[in-house]
Amino acid sequence: GKGLYLVEAVRGDQRAYTVVLITDLIVVSKTSPGRILAATVDRQTGAPVPGGAVFFWSDKKEVARATADDQGLADARLSARRPENTLVLAKRDDDFAVDSLNSWSLSSDPDRYFVGYVYTDRPVYRPGHAIHFKGILRTQAGARYRLPEHREIYVEIHDPDNNPVYRNALKLSELGTVDDDYTLSGSAALGYYSIEIRAGDSKVEGGFHVEEYKKPEYLVSVTPDARRVLQGDAIRATIEAHYYFGEPVPGAKVTWVVHRSRYWSYALYGEEEEEFEGGGDEEGGEGDEGDYGAGEQVGEQSGRLDAQGRLVITVPTAVARDKHDMLYRIEARVTDESNREIAGFASTLATYGSFLVTVRADRYLYGPGETAAFLIRARDYDGKPVSTKVRLMLSTWTWYNRPARSIGTFDAETDAQGEAKVEAPFPEGGSYLAKVVATTPERRDVEDETYVWVAGESSAWISGRESERIQIVPDRPKYRAGETAHVLIITGVPDSHVLVTTEGRELHTHRMIALQGPTVTVDVPILPEYAPNVYVAAVFVRGNRIHQGAKAIKVPPVEQQLTVEIEPSRDTFRPGDAGVFTVSARDFQGKPLAADLSLGVVDEAIYAVQPEMNPDIVSFFYGRGPNRVETDSSFSYYFHGASGKKAMRLTSLRPGSALAALKPQTLVEPRVRKAFPDTALWLAHLTTGPDGRATAKLSFPDSLTTWRATVRGVTRDTQVGNAVRKVVVRKDLILRLVTPRFFTKGDEVTVSAVVHNYLASEKTARVSLQAQGLEMVEGETRDVVLPSRGEARLDWRVRAPAVREVTILGKALTDEESDAMELALPVRPFGVTMTIARSGSVAAADGAASADLEFPGGIDPDSRSLEVQFTPSVAGTIFGALDYLTSFPYGCTEQTMSSFLPNVVVARALKDLGVTSNVDRAALQVKIDKGLQRLYDYQHEDGGWGWWQTDDSHAFMTAYVLSGLSQARAAAVEVRPEAVQRARDWLKTQFDRSERVLPDLRAYMALALTEAGLRDAKVLDAVWSERTRLSPYGVALAGLALLAAGDTRAEDAAALLEAGAVIEVGEAHWQVDRNDLMEFEGDTSAEATAYAVKLLTRLRPASPLLPKAALWLVNHRDQGDYWCSTEQTAMVIFGLTDYLKASGELKPDFH
């Protein structure tokens, strides 16, 4: 009969469960943040079932109840921000249904919808450069953005090895932004750096690159005449090269290489075709990463640019034998007078046919004898429908080499919408291939295929309930707010009860519609909050199946877009000129707005080294969004129950020229250009006034280049926008120095000066080179005749001696305008940099210590340097890690403890040792308080802790938290006594039942219980009786538990540790290769050694092992001032604190 049945499977002491529900009632649920809409319907007809009781449960308790209305609907709001284990239960007479929901989609916690647009003034830097960053932070509250609740924001910058190089707590501005600066060290690692911005539990990221780059001096572009061609036709493209100061690169040598690769068109999947954009890229740069030389090379030719820096080329294309579309990538490599090669590229699509066909089944799983409906579409590459004849061929299919058998061939013709429907029956179970073919006007066959499965003996492996698809067709692809969309819903059945919703970031509207035919048109008013898109969804139940579909409708974010404009005082400047940028901000109606803008003025050549990494700010905040509303039903109920023991890992514990004999009568002395920054101006906050305008002033640096001014803006209500404007800094007489990025000692190289004359008449230029620190081998001051718009290159041979830096000054003097340029370049020793590190202690009576350094043979004596660092305490060097350890609590219980416990350890170390630190003690206390509150919230009703609020309590996790609370009390932190008592009671019960638990974990449980005040000899006896099975880590834990209880056997533990130490030259440690506390393989020797030091310090403070173990811990830091994780670093500091107090290292006498 009807009812809910529990099924139990038993094997020995193992049990598994599931449930079986027999009912005529179905619940269909729509979930969005903080809300559940439940529809109760009949399993066969889909008709609403009104009047039933609907219960909403979450976190093991009822949170709402309702009575289904006359449409069978019940609506509930949830107050919990992060509901877990959420169920909808419906009952009507003797029918019962239950739907288990995805709790993630129900969360209304703002931290889960934290959004941040994080950017820097430019995408790439060199070591030693200053980074300027800014973040625009929001939370998504339903369909709109709000300012984050958190006012204190934590920012970290991590290097390519994920080491933190910057940490700071920043205050959120009134408009929801944060910003700061960070200067890279001169030896900063190269690679990608991440910027992590955290608010509460959530974080957002941005980043930048650090490279040893040399900026290109000109831009190479490739511009095809057409975005695509038909295969067999030629691609016509223009190669062009221009200096960044605005003039063409005339007569330069160019080589172009063509690669071809297969292309999958977006049109196959109903999306608009993407743009193909070319870009300039320096050789070896990252602007084209992942695409360089992609596919097979099909051509390479050479030529020269004309006087305007252009060359028109023709690239033939071939007809693909496999009928696939192909992407042709043209890369042009241009070499100018400086003999430096710069590349640019572009891609063109070569299509096999003039249109595409696709075929899709209405579903993928059928029963024997059922009829499948295939939808065939024909579209051109602009997405426009094509009317054409099509042929659908069905055949059997197997994954192994079994001959296919034809099932049937069906001819059709696509209509004005480019669509055709074909129905085909399947006689028996199996796997089938559906292939559609159409002939293009070029007499080429284009095709597509899909697979379907029919349940039966030959496909018994297929399981699960298939969801039938509803087709939804709006009358237009996009709408503006205030318009009405007319949406056709095609159910394919003669009558149904359809729940129609508009949804996206939240559930907007809903209605139940009774259909008397297979289609219905519904009107959907478009509201402003629907931008950038909204989903029209439909779902109904019929014949024991659920049918559903959704269609995204574009709503351009007109009202959310901030119109930003930037206007320079003029378009062309000279080096050192004062410039003014005027920026303005207006809303979509043209009204001026107060906005927070940032302005960065960056050398355009930087974007050839590394293109802009940040997306358009409007697209970021208002690009196509996902549908956060989930549809569930009681057709599928997820139920899990099992017993037994399962290991769980807690933690995963980025051309020559003519010379002239005559010289000008009067030569103009130039201003020497020396300043060549990559960023000319950065303003993190430029606020527009009541007129919506603001101005920024700067003096342009000495670089002759194009400067890109980028403005990004945001308002309080998250209207966003950006603008880019470029200006040129140039001269009419230009000297460019061509040098290496650095010299190597002993190098003899050519240094060149390229002189350009853009004056109106021919000029004779006196060109000279002064090289301070370099030896001049060949070359002298020379006069050269330069026609108008002409250029010349002059060379000097120089040798680099044993110096650290050289200065090169080049001059080109004429009687009308002159130029001079000065560069400072490093001289590096020949070979590979090697670092030899030694550490030790000064303990001798004479206050002296020595270390032997062995250098490789043949080393250059001038290349060596020595750096010596002193600290009054060997172990005291670890306190560089104190600031690293402090962090804000977030995540699950284990993650919370991984921030709370280090915070407590730092607080206790500061209290016990009285050391000076950069740690903000007030901020540290706030973090500890937040962590405590979070741990209280996560404590289970039984007193224990698991990973989350609603899972089962776990012995290690409870011992971990209980020990941390005890340490917090020892650090003078106020802790709720009842929380400790409940945890101690639960853990004691588990200890009594834990005979089969790993011995190290039992020792840790005993230590946590003892630290919490339990004095139970049976607990200690049980642990000590297994001492032969304990690792050194376990022995140290057991010894500390015995010591805390006043048990003399702690001395025996100390003796065992001394006997088991691994002693090396000047160092000692305890080797442990597995962490039995958290049950994973991994070296935990640092934790074991730190706890051993703690025990020995308390019992045997004169042990000769202590300074050796402290030295071993200091020397085995693998992350600078800290160890491999916050947990391990905290454990080491916790273990060393007593040693530092006892040794007197922190109070040395240097007299």
Q: What is the DSSP string of 199-265?
A: ETTEEEEEEEEE------SEEEEEEESSSEEEBTBPEEEEEEEEETTS-B-TT-EEEEEEEEEEE--
When comparing pLDDT for 271 and 88, which is higher? 88
Span 68-75, average pLDDT = 96
Give the bridge partners for 912, in sequence order: none
Q: Which two tokens stand for residue 686?
A: 């430029």
pLDDT level of residue 294 (50, 70, 90 thresholds):
low
385 vs 898 pLDDT, higher one: 385
Whether residue 662 has pLDDT greater than 90 = no
Higher pLDDT, 533 or 882: 533
CATH code at position 325: 2.60.40.1940
Q: Tell me the average pLDDT across 929-941.
A: 87
pLDDT of residue 401: 59
Q: Is the peptide bond before 557 cis (omega within 30 degrees of 0)?
A: no
Q: 441 and 539: one domain? A: no
pLDDT of residue 692: 94
Classify residue 173: in a domain, yes or no.
yes
pLDDT greater at residue 144 or residue 725: 725
* Residue with more model confidence, 91 or 834: 91
Residues 567, 517 share a domain: no
The total domain count for the chain is 7
Q: Stretch 799-823: mean pLDDT, rounded? A: 93
pLDDT at res. 276: 30
The predicted pLDDT at position 278 comes to: 33
> In angstroms, what CA-CA distances link 349 with 15, 273, 294, 355, 1054?
59, 11, 14, 13, 75
**Are 264 and 399 in the same domain?**
no
Q: What is the mean pLDDT of residues 921-926?
A: 72
The span from the CA of 350 to the CA of 229, in Å, is 5
**Residue 638 confidence (pLDDT):** 60
Of 887 and 285, which is predicted with more confidence?
887
Least Cα distance to 904 among 975, 971, 976 occurs for 971
pLDDT at 920 over 70: no
Lowest-pLDDT range of 239-248, 941-950, 1020-1029 = 941-950
Specify whether 373 is located in the same domain as 398: yes
Token pair recorded at residue 519: 């289609």
Angle between helices 893-913 and 955-970 (to 10 degrees): 30
**1057 domain residue, yes or no:** yes
Domain boundary among 289, 321, 351: 351
Report yes or no on 1062 lying in a domain.
yes
In a domain, 21, yes or no: no
- Who wins on pLDDT, 491 or 122? 122
Q: Are residues 414 and 507 in the same domain?
A: no
Note the helical H segments in 418-560.
none
**Mean pLDDT score, 311-324:** 94
Q: Strand, helix or coil at 24?
A: coil
Sort 380 into a burial class: Cβ within 10 Å, 0-12 / 13-18 / 19+: middle
Q: Domain of 376: which CATH number?
A: 2.60.40.10
Q: Would you say residue 476 has pLDDT above 60?
A: yes
C-alpha 762/C-alpha 614 separation (Å) is 46
Name the amino acid, one letter, at 316. Answer: P
| Whether pLDDT at 29 is above 60 | yes
In this prediction, residue 108 has a pLDDT band, given cuts at 50, 70 and 90, of confident
What is the average pLDDT value for the chain, to the nearest integer? Answer: 85
Measured in degrees and rounded to the nearest 5, phi and psi for residue 230 equal: -85, 135
Is residue 1092 located within the same domain as residue 986?
A: yes
The residue with tokens 């707010």 is 481
Q: By percentage, how much of the chain surpasses pLDDT 90?
A: 59
**Do 373 and 329 fall within a single domain?**
no
Lowest mean pLDDT among 788-797, 849-858, 1038-1047: 849-858
Q: How confident is the model at residue 426 (pLDDT cuts 50, 70, 90)?
A: confident
Backbone torsions φ then ψ of 218, nearest 5 degrees: -145, 160
Domain holding 1080: CATH number?
Answer: 1.50.10.20
Chain-centroid distance, C-alpha 1135 = 36
Structural domain boundaries enclosing 1077: 875-1143
Give the tokens for residue 1080. 């994973």
**Can you give the pLDDT at residue 602?**
98
Rounded to 5 degrees, what are φ and ψ at 135? -130, 130
27 versus 473: which is more confidently predicted?
27
The DSSP line for 931-989 is HHHHHHHH--TTS---SSSSS---HHHHHHHHHHHHHHHHTT----HHHHHHHHHHHHH
pLDDT at site 368: 79
* Among 524-528, 657-661, 1114-1118, the least confident range: 657-661
> Are 380 and 260 part of one and the same domain?
no
Element at 764 (helix H, strand E): strand 763-772
pLDDT at 363 over 90: no
1020 phi, psi to nearest 5 deg: -65, -40
Q: Phi and psi of 1078, rounded to 5°?
A: -105, 5
In this structure, are 427 and 480 located in the same domain? Answer: no
CB 882 within 8 A of CB 924: no
Confirm whether 102 is domain-assigned: no
Check pLDDT > 80 for residue 771.
Answer: yes
Name the pLDDT band for 926 (thresholds 50, 70, 90): confident
Q: Decide if pLDDT at 313 tops 90.
A: yes
Q: Quick one: 454 and 572 in the same domain?
A: no
Identify which of 347-356, 895-904, 949-958 has the greatest average pLDDT: 347-356
From 794, 828, 862, the end of a domain falls on 828
Of 278, 357, 279, nearest to 325 by C-alpha is 357
Point out the least confidently predicted range of 316-325, 380-389, 465-474: 465-474
Q: How far apart are CA 631 and CA 628, in angstroms?
A: 10
pLDDT value of position 871: 61
Specify the pLDDT at position 697.
96
Domain membership flag for residue 20: no
* DSSP assignment of 640-707: -EE-S------S-------B-S---SS-PPPPEE----SEEEEEEEEE--TTSEEEEEEE--S--EEE
- Asked which of 60-64, 765-769, 900-904 is least confident by mean pLDDT, the reply is 900-904
Report the pLDDT value the prediction gives residue 285, as an integer from 0 to 100.
Answer: 33
CATH of the domain at 203: 2.60.40.1930
Distances, alpha carbon 384 to alpha carbons 379, 445, 814, in Å: 5, 19, 62
Inform me whether the pLDDT recorded for 923 exceeds 80. no
pLDDT at 347 over 50: yes
Measured CA to CA, the distance from residue 1008 to residue 955 in angstroms comes to 11
Residue 26 lies in a domain: no
Residue 67 lies in a domain: no
Q: Which neighbouring-strand residues pair with 601?
A: 681, 709
Residue 652 phi, psi (nearest 5): -95, 70
* pLDDT value of residue 665: 45
Q: Residue 206: its pLDDT value, please?
A: 96
Tell me the per-residue pLDDT of 851-893, one tens digit each, with 9 for 90 and over.
Answer: 777 777 777 777 777 777 666 555 455 555 555 555 555 567 7
Instruction: Look at residues 556, 572, 592 and tell me which one is the last residue of a structural domain.
Output: 556
392 & 499 share domain: no
Token pair, residue 753, equals 């000066």
User: What residues are paired with 1078 via a beta bridge?
Assistant: none
DSSP tag of 478: B
Angle between helices 1032-1044 and 1049-1060 (to 10 degrees): 160
Q: Does the pLDDT at position 977 exceed 80? A: yes
Give pLDDT, residue 890. 58
Written as one letter, the residue type at 420 is A
- Count of other CB atoms within 10 angstroms of residue 65: 13
pLDDT in tens, 1025-1036: 999 999 999 999
Task: Indicate whether 789 and 935 sit together in one domain.
Answer: no
* Residue-level length of the chain: 1151
Closest CA to 593 of 601, 603, 584, 602: 584
Do 1136 and 1081 form a contact (C-beta atoms < 8 A)?
A: no
